[in-house]
Amino acid sequence: MTVKVGIPRALLFHEYHLLWISFFEELGAQVIISEKTNKNIIGEGIKNTVDEACIPVKLFHGHVLNIKDKVDYLFIPRINSIFKNEHICPKFCGLPEMIKNSINDLPTIIDTEINFVKSKNSLKNTIYEIGKYFSNDYKQIMSAYDKAYLKFKNSKRIIKENPFSEVNMLNNKKIMIMGHPYNLYDPYINMDSIDKIKSMGAYVLTPEMIEDQYIFDYAKKFDGRLYWTFARKLVGTALYLIDKKNIDGIIYVSTFGCGVDSVVADIVEKLIRRKSDIPFMLVTLDEHSGEAGINTRIEAFIDMVKWRDISENNISAHG
C-alpha cells in the first residue's frame, strides 16, 4: 500500500512546496496537502494553539488538524536555518513540539532538523534522514532530492524572469506587496489583497520576483546586522526598490503577534520614508480584521498612488 505523507498548507509550504512534494513523490509516497485555508481551518487553529502565538502559527495548527487523520506521516521539520549563517524565526524550530503538545492522536511526525548553519554534509544527512522514512537506498534518496531540487529551482527561475522589465512596458501602476510568503500567498489570510490590487488596474510584484543575488547584495548595504533570513530578504528588497526607483507603491503585509515584523517592518518603513518618496502602507492583519476595512485602505492607497501623477508629488507618499 502506498505510504501517505501529509504537508500542512501553511508557513514555509508557500515557499518550498514544490521541492517537498516532488521529493516525496520521487520516493513513491502519496502526498496529501491540507485544503486551502478556510473559516473552519483558521477557527480550529485558533482553538488549538496558545493565545500568544502569531496567526500563521495558529493557522499551521488548523492545517495539521485538517489532514492528520488522512496520512501515515506528517512532515513538520524542525527548521533552525534555511540559509548559511542565518537564522529563521525561533517559532519554526519549536513547531513540532508545539504541535505534539497541542494536538492529540497524531500520526508519526517527520521532525528532522533543517539547519544550514551547520556544514554542507549536514544537508546530505538531513535529506537522508527524511528520505529514510520512505526508502533505505541512499542513492535513491539523493537522486530523488536532486530531481526535486531541479524542478524547484526551475520554477523559481521562471518567477524571476524579468518581471520588472516586462512590467515597465505597461502603463499600469506597479505595486510591491511584501511580507512573509505565507502572508502573501495565502489569499484567505490576506483577504485577497493581491487580487484586489490587480482589480484596481495595478500590476502586483512580490519579493520572490527579484533575483536572489540582488537581494543579498542590497541587504549588505544595510547599516546593521540582519540576523534573520526574513529580515535580510525584506530589507534587501526595500533597498533594491529604493535604488532602482522602479515601483509606484509598497504595501507591507504583516500579522499581529509577529515578533520578527515588529522589528523588520519598522526598519523597512523607516528606510523607505527616509530614502525615497515611494508611497508606503503597512497592513497588520489579525483574526478579527474586517474585510471592509482592508478594502478601504487598499482602495485609498491605490487612488493616492494614481493621483500623484495628476498632482505630481503634492500628495504625501505616506497617506
Q: Is 232 in contact with 257 (CB distance < 8 Å)?
A: no
Instruction: Mention every residue, 6+ apart, whose C-beta is less than 8 A from residue 277.
Output: 313, 317
DSSP state of 87: B
Asked whether position 56 contacts ligand SF4 by CB under 6 A, the answer is yes
Instruction: Candidates 40-48, 135-143, 209-217, 255-263: pick the segment binding ligand SF4 (CB under 6 A).
Output: 255-263
Asked whether position 231 contacts ligand SF4 by CB under 6 A, the answer is no
Among 7, 19, 57, 109, binds ligand SF4 (CB under 6 A): 57
Asked whether position 255 contacts ligand SF4 by CB under 6 A, the answer is yes
What's the gap between Cα 40 and its chain centre?
A: 22
Q: Tell me, what amino acid is at 108?
A: T
Site for ligand SF4 in 75-94 (CB under 6 A): 89, 91
**Cα–Cα distance between 312 and 57 in angstroms, integer?**
43
Site for ligand SF4 in 88-127 (CB under 6 A): 89, 91
Instruction: Candidates 30-38, 132-140, 185-193, 252-260: pick the segment binding ligand SF4 (CB under 6 A).
Output: 252-260
Asked whether position 263 contacts ligand SF4 by CB under 6 A, the answer is no
Q: Is 262 in contact with 294 (CB distance < 8 Å)?
A: no
Q: Tell me, what amino acid is at 171?
A: N
Asked whether position 189 contacts ligand SF4 by CB under 6 A, the answer is no
Asked whether position 44 contacts ligand SF4 by CB under 6 A, the answer is no
**Cα–Cα distance between 88 and 98 in angstroms, integer?**
17
Neighbours of 209 (CB within 10 A): 17
> 253 is written with which cell numbers?
503585509
Looking at the Cβ atoms of 22 and 255, the one nearer to ligand SF4 is 255
- Taking only Cα atoms into account, the Rg of the chain, rounded to an integer number of angstroms, comes to 20
Among 26, 208, 261, 301, binds ligand SF4 (CB under 6 A): 261
Residue 151: CB minimum distance to ligand SF4, A: 26
Looking at the Cβ atoms of 73 and 182, the one nearer to ligand SF4 is 182
Among 61, 87, 173, 180, binds ligand SF4 (CB under 6 A): 180
Q: Which residues pair with 5 in a beta bridge?
A: 31, 73
| Residues in contact with ligand SF4 by the rule CB under 6 A | 54, 56-57, 89, 91, 180, 230, 255, 258-261
